[in-house]
Amino acid sequence: MSEKIYRRVGERVVCKTLPNGLPVYVVVKPGFARKYAFFATRYGGMDLRFQLNGQWLDTPAGIAHYLEHKMFDTEEGNALQELAKNGAEPNAFTSNAITGYYFDSTEHFKENLRILLSFVSVPYFTDESVEKEQGIIGQEIGMIEDNPEWQVYKKLMQALYRTSPARVSVAGSVESISHITARTLYDCHKAFYTPANMCLVAVGDLDAEEVFSLAEEVLPGESGPAIPRDYGQETDLTPLEAEVSCQMEVSMPTFLLGFKCSPMSGGQEQMRRTLIGELACDVLLGDSSPLYARLYSGGLINGTFGYSFDTLPGVAYAYIGGDSNDPHAVADAVLQEAERLVRDGIDEDYFHRICRANYGSTLKSLNSFESVAISMAEGCFDGYDPLLFPEMFDSITREDLADFIRRNLVREHMALSVVYPKE
């Protein structure tokens, strides 16, 4: 067991790796009535191809999400109902990289934590219940597919990437989930829901030793082997297609402009490079940027405009989008402004203002127990400490941002996805 005091952000974390290999973090928040637990596995929508017992297996798209849905089933009933009886608010989610189960409560924390650890570590599926779930998830998929914002994003990822499972929806398709059986769910649970591949984070006014002891008591005493995974080879930063489009029931075109970036390799440097990407996008596209002012005043964008820099297993990308009657003009303006920033440099005062604003937002996020827990788990899985963000901000320069823009935000790495109104 070790204790870390983060004086610059006022946080205290007690952590321990249990004998079964599970990393456990307790973020101590003295005086708070609310308590939060997050139990996550490094297994998400992109983990479709992996090696088990020396053989490579290809699993149906959407299986991690499907497994998340079925994990609340227990032999005695439903874990959601049991947690709710104790005054907890439970839920779960599946992303491209992780699946997380969580609850928050103000009382009965230990009892609720026991329920959480038990149902996530002990699966219970039947062929009948798995088959019934196909209809429920199929309806969910249908609703997603009818969403223009989802379609423009899905088509962008399919334009950017050739082999990466980032091309595939986390929920899968109606056809892909039809191949999921109780047996495949048990196999995936056995492979990935194993202590050394998971992480437990508890946040609140808690006794860390009690959390460690309870986890050690409830969970298996040993972990399974590490599972090799295949995310495809995306060494070429040139997109598969430069432009894709479709038509849907929208009042004006919806677009996403994506830039394919070099993938991350984990560790504290990944955290730093991610911050650089986020800051570079803010400098180029933020509400106070010259480019945003020109695009908005020229009527090329509206309040739907947004942007982000994201990292997924084996890939990284920046994307920009919203509603616009001329997405190509927006794309040209973004490229021209990126070239100007590289050529003329980033104004020093503007750079410091953007850094302070981002630092403040990150500091404010520590007020959210959920945000703290998820960032701790993601950091654990990718080998960095998210609470060292002040040191990361200190290390970033204007030249780092300009270099990111020069290397990544170029036409050669760009793809445009547009959903046009039906004619």
Residues marked as catalytic: 68
Under 8 Å between Cβ of 66 and 177: yes
One-letter amino acid for residue 399 of the chain: E
Q: How far apart are CA 321 and CA 152, in angstroms?
A: 9
Q: How far apart are CA 228 and CA 273, in angstroms?
A: 25
**Please, which residues have CB within 8 angstroms of residue 158's CB and are 6 or more apart in sequence?**
167, 240, 241, 244
Under 8 Å between Cβ of 389 and 378: no
Under 8 Å between Cβ of 166 and 157: yes
Q: How many CB atoms lie within 10 A of CB 129?
A: 12
Q: How far apart are CA 66 and CA 172, in angstroms?
A: 9
Q: How many CB atoms lie within 10 A of CB 167?
A: 20
Q: How far apart are CA 414 and CA 134, in angstroms?
A: 37
Q: How far apart are CA 132 and CA 412, in angstroms?
A: 46
One-letter amino acid for residue 95 of the chain: S
N- to C-terminal Cα distance for the chain? 64
- What number of residues does the chain have? 423
